[in-house]
């Protein structure tokens, strides 16, 4: 069945280092992908998105890479800060189904 | 612009009771989706409403229902509560179907 999975449940990085969070999806028809950040006690917050006709998109300190060949999505956070500590979710969307499928989340811990 | 608001933020109910949760989308957003989030689980899609019509439904029993009003506000209802219904219920709104979803803070439901 359809699934969006995350390779690592917890990722610990040193403050100032770059973080890479990975995500695999299984539906080759997915055409829209989003990364969300969820801090404790809050709802998920939109970080960055990418359409399937792109393979890279950059935001402020974040970059999303999409590899449709292997159905892989990654979120790169540059110069990770303590405020980046949170759970990060990827989600994929398939036009026509009107349905988002979310991964289980990766917890990012930033070490001082 | 105000974000998605959800009320109440916290609820404690007992088994067998029913509960109604409310969601006010971002102004101008016409689509509202509901998700259930439990510890260790990803976001589980419940249903999505657009123009007062349910457009999509997840794999939840009929005890879970919802509706959307003409002003795009939405409510979801859970009848005959079970212990396993304890979760964070998240509402997300988007301009239209398939557009980026923005989440509210959630309603944390505890069933005793």
pLDDT in tens, chain B (112 residues): 689 999 999 999 999 999 999 999 999 999 999 999 987 667 899 999 999 999 989 999 999 999 999 999 999 999 999 999 999 999 999 999 888 999 999 999 999 9
Q: Measured between alpha carbons, how far is B71 from B30 in angstroms, rounded to an integer?
A: 8
* Nearest-by-CA chain A residue for B90: A43
Distances A110 to A70, A75, B17, B108 between C-alpha atoms, Å: 29, 15, 42, 27
**Adjacency order of strands within the sheet including B19-24:** B5-7, B19-24, B74-78, B64-68
State residue B98's pLDDT score.
83
Chain A interface test: which of B43, B47, B58, B92 (most A C-beta within 10 Å): B43
* Nearest-by-CA chain A residue for B89: A43
């Amino acid at each position: 069945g359809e699934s969006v999975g995350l390779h690592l449940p917890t990722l610990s990085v040193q403050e100032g280092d770059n973080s890479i969070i990975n995500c695999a999806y299984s539906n080759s028809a997915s055409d829209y992908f989003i990364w969300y950040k969820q801090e404790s006690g809050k709802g998920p917050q939109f970080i960055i998105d990418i359409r399937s006709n792109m393979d890279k998109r950059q935001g402020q300190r974040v970059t999303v890479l999409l590899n449709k060949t292997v159905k892989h999505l990654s979120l790169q956070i540059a110069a990770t800060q303590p405020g980046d500590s949170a759970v990060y979710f990827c989600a994929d969307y398939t036009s026509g189904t009107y349905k988002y499928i979310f991964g289980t989340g990766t917890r990012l811990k930033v070490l001082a | 612009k105000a974000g998605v608001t959800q009320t109440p933020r916290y609820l404690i109910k007992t088994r067998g009771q029913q509960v109604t949760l409310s969601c006010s989308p971002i102004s101008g957003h016409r689509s509202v989706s509901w998700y259930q989030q439990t510890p260790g689980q990803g976001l589980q899609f419940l249903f999505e409403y657009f123009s007062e019509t349910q457009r999509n439904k997840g794999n939840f029993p009929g005890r879970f229902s919802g509706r959307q009003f003409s002003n795009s506000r939405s409510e979801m209802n859970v009848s005959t509560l079970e212990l396993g219904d304890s979760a964070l219920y998240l509402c997300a709104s988007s301009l239209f179907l398939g557009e980026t979803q923005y989440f509210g803070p959630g309603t944390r439901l505890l069933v005793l």
